[in-house]
Amino acid sequence: MIVVSNTSPILNLTMVGHEGLLRDLYSEVLIPDAVASELRAIQAELQGASDALPPWMRTQSVASAPLVRVLHSELDLGESEAIVLALDTQADLLLLDERKARAVAARLGVRFIGLLGVLLEAKWMGHIPSVKPLLDSVIVKAGFWLGSQLYSRVLREAGE
């Protein structure tokens, strides 16, 4: 299974110490150069953090630079490269949270899920016992914004 990720799902899980869920679920996650740069810049801001990415996260350059430029006119560079890398690699799944980027991915026929989908999948696959504590942690520690109706829906889907 080929999985490509944008920065936000990785960052949100990292901020609550659960980035390993991505490895557990997908074995390897591809990230484009712009996402790798964003992650390294964030790591550099954290005291004592190294700029090395985990071995299960592989950086790959996009092949379709002209398409990145087109998408970058409406999305940030990381989102643009992640969508294009998903297209380039014919990825099975793109990890992407931002609404506008998801609309573009859908328009281009790219299958995606966000952090909430990752958490639900992690529970269904037995990698976490419950979604609620991790979801609450992501909201509090990572500042992940989630409306109350969606919060309730996710917990219902998780059977919690």
How confident is the model over 98-126, as pLDDT tens digits?
999 999 999 999 999 999 999 999 999 99
- Which pLDDT tens digit goes with each residue over 11-34? 999 889 898 999 999 999 999 999
Domains in the chain (CATH in brackets) are 3-117 (3.40.50.1010)
- Spatial CA neighbour of 116 closest among 68, 88, 154: 154
The set of long-range contacts for 62-71, using a CB threshold of 8 Å and a minimum separation of 24, is 62/32, 62/33, 62/88, 63/88, 64/88, 71/104
Asked if residue 89 has pLDDT above 80, the reply is: yes
pTM to 2 decimal places: 0.91
